[in-house]
Structure 1
């Protein structure tokens, strides 16, 4: 009966903005970790979804602390507490499957976002194509070094879908550039500090000949830049590129210190909330986030029933960086 009341109330609200505060929907959000800025931006955007701000949705965000077992335990908690839906940003593309299976057995829809989970039991996925991101970050470096010379690759946590897919895209590009030689490839776990340490070692070995750094995220790219500066080198002597468009990376682009592409945290997070609500309502629901209007030429709402929603990447340039920075205020 409660579900029927919520469905009727939300359907009415989608048309007439009638409050359904007495039947608050509970959505749990399991993210891989909140240490980095990108997932902080993602989480903040989810909390700013219109339905959450109005009080019609109670959003609980769980910090997975970069541990698949912690995330599975959090799923157990959400299932026990009978959440209406779960949004999942997994730390591991394969280990996540058992948690999703538990929720599916309990009748709770799970919406994947940002990082993939290798299971067919997700109700939907709202994220971006990380293979494309890998191709873009590799080309950002190779175009500036004339497609020849020595480069290093900084990878994300091994086994996470963003690491797997971004490296696939990087490899696509490198495979067609025989004059580019990879002289170092290690994971820095999305960490600026770990990337700095790795880059310091690579500079000792290859300082005279290293031409570029292909980093699978901005935090690691920024760590590489810090190492270059600490070594006394001209920051522009080695081309560095990353992925995500976090605030410090945007500032570095403005200073001509690196290249990056923007991953739209707001669109991914708020899109996932809208899709989760559609699966809870199981009837007429009009999406409440502005992101569907922002991307209307590239993103079809399809009544919230698509298996996958791919948010486009935005190349960051000197022409658009000020606008992107102003949106962070």
Structure 2
């Protein structure tokens, strides 16, 4: 073998080795969560870390805590772009203000997937969400069914301006409108910002202001429903005398369902996040990418992969019942 042949082989080997290294580089995905305090968001974070591509090292995740501030999320999107994220997943705080994240990602030619909450734009790569109008409708319907469409309700809302508050509110109103006009009265309607701690004093005040008049509590998430339950118990009232519902299927709410204290409509945090990662990976890698999460089999026929090209993936809702509660809790161990 002459000198020139050896040099050519060495050069070829180095090129091949560099190509392998380049191919092995993990896909960098920035995940912008609106906040990290609530259990539901923590379930999403857990699901992200358990995605097969993350566990294998094929994906490098960077999780951002938006601290319940849309401007913080917008700034974090700038950071993700500057640090050369290959894709961005955002769980947005604000329906309007966080459109900037989509705009910035599009300008940087970075795929952006919206998950859990929604944005007032269709310029994202895709969204993996649940139908919040339907979720709000289902929870309100359960409350009104227990009340036989007669009596007084209070509505504890999510953060004003968020898609959850807007769309679940539409669903609440739709269910109320289906009762005979005038048979249901909404005594109070106010935000507790998804917070159990904020819902407790709010409900305490309403119980004092409307003594003996509140029959139902429509809380736009489980944490706020649980805060209302604490307030009712603190007032030495029987929780089972009230019709109460929330949305999310957090662990304490599932236990409250088992105790007969409330209804919860489960929003699948695992499916929303793992689905978002699969869609993001398809956007980065192209049609050769095949989804790795088990959620596509779980929801086959209800939510299909569609080649990773769908503009919107709608994760189904599941009502938590005494029959499925234990199984749902066991899945989180």
> Cα deviations across residues 293-326 of structure 1 (Å, max 9, x unaligned)?
0011211101100000000000111111111111
Structure 1 residues not aligned, in runs of 5+: 10-18
In 2, the alpha carbon distance for the partners of 1:21 and 1:201 equals: 60
In 2, the alpha carbon distance for the partners of 1:315 and 1:116 equals: 22
* Cross-structure match for 1:319: 323
In 1, the alpha carbon distance for the partners of 2:234 and 2:23 equals: 54
In 1, the alpha carbon distance for the partners of 2:83 and 2:233 equals: 50
In 1, the alpha carbon distance for the partners of 2:246 and 2:197 equals: 15
Q: With structure 2 as the length reference, what TM-score do the two structures score?
A: 0.92
Q: Does 1:52 align with 2:54?
A: yes
> Aligned pair in 2 of structure 1 residues 236, 20: CA closer, same or farther (>3 Å)?
farther
Q: Does 1:134 align with 2:136?
A: yes
Structure 2 residues not aligned, in runs of 5+: 1-15
* Cross-structure match for 1:92: 94
* Cross-structure match for 2:248: 244
* Cross-structure match for 2:10: none
* Cross-structure match for 1:197: 201
Deviation at 1:198, TM superposition (A): 0.5
Deviation at 1:20, TM superposition (A): 8.2
- Cα RMSD of the aligned pairs, angstroms, is 1.5
Deviation at 1:100, TM superposition (A): 1.2
1:173 alignment partner, one of 158, 172, 175: 175
In 2, the alpha carbon distance for the partners of 1:209 and 1:152 equals: 10
Compare CA radii of gyration and give the structure with the larger one.
2
2:270 alignment partner, one of 263, 266, 270: 266
In 1, the alpha carbon distance for the partners of 2:246 and 2:122 equals: 30
Q: Conserved in 2, the CA contact under 8 Å of 1:30 and 1:89?
A: yes
* Cross-structure match for 1:147: 149
* Cross-structure match for 1:121: 123
* Cross-structure match for 1:229: 233
In 2, the alpha carbon distance for the partners of 1:37 and 1:206 equals: 31
Aligned residues: 314
